Every structure is written in C-alpha cells, then in structure tokens.
C-alpha cells in the first residue's frame, strides 16, 4: 500500500512539475509574441514616417518646379502616355517600389 501511495505522490509531483513547465513555456511564448508585435509596430511606424518624408520632399520638389499642366498636352496621345508613366513612377516612388524604367 505504501508503494502505491508513493507512486501516486510521485505522479502528482510529476503532473505539477509538468504544469509549471507548461506555464513557463506559455509565458515565454507570450513574451516573444509581445516582442514581435512591438518590433512590427516600430517597423511600420518607421515605414510610414519614411514614406511621408519622401512624399513631402517630392511634393516640395514638384511645387518648386512651378510648372502647371498644359491643357493642349492632354489632347496628345503621346503626352497622355508620358503622363501615365510619370504617375506610375511617382506612385512607385511614394510606396518605395523601384520603377521598371
């Protein structure tokens, strides 16, 4: 009977040790999850800041050029193609993607 009680105590102790280990593993996982989320948020904030700065610099450069649209150029198909290409390049630049040209 004493061996059975000893075995039961040992089993309970093993279960408790396993529960403590599992809780430790969960706590570590939660800490890693928090760390990953914080790093991701910091990266996203940095990307947004960089994009905003590039956009502001590009808009300032465009405004400094002081060139307005030419109403006659909009009627020219080649000018429309150039305008579409310029818009695509600007969009690529604003989102940080390199242009194919």
82: containing domain? 69-101
- 37 and 86: one domain? no
Helix (H, G, I), strand (E, B) or coil at 69: coil
Taking the C-alpha atoms of residue 44 and residue 22, their distance in angstroms, rounded to an integer, is 33
Say yes or no: 55 and 95 in one domain: no
Domain count, the chain: 2
Is 76 in the same domain as 61? no
pTM of the model: 0.48
**79 and 61 in one domain?**
no
- Reported as a single tens digit per residue, the pLDDT across 59-98 is 888 888 776 666 665 567 777 788 888 888 888 888 877 6
66: left (phi over 0), alpha (psi -120 to 50) or beta: left
Specify whether 54 is located in the same domain as 98: no
C-alpha dist (Å) from residue 65 to 1, 8, 62, 68, 94:
96, 85, 5, 9, 18
Residues 40, 76: one domain?
no
What dihedral do alpha carbons 95, 64, 101, 97 form, nearest 10°?
Answer: -10
Give dist(CA 67, CA 17) in Å, integer. Answer: 75
Examine the domain organization and report whether 22 and 50 are in the same domain: yes
For 30-39, 45-54, 79-88, which range has the lowest pLDDT when averaged over its residues?
Answer: 79-88
Give the mean model confidence (pLDDT) for residues 26-42.
95
């Amino acid at each position: 009977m004493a061996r059975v009680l000893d075995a039961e105590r040992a089993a309970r102790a093993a279960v408790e040790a396993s529960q403590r280990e599992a809780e430790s593993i969960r706590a570590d996982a939660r800490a890693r999850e928090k760390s990953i989320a914080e790093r991701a948020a910091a990266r996203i904030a940095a990307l947004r800041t960089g994009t905003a700065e590039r956009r502001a610099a590009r808009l300032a450069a465009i405004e400094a050029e002081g060139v307005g649209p030419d109403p006659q150029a909009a009627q020219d198909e080649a000018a429309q193609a150039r305008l579409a290409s310029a818009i695509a390049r600007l969009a690529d630049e604003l989102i940080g993607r390199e242009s194919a040209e």
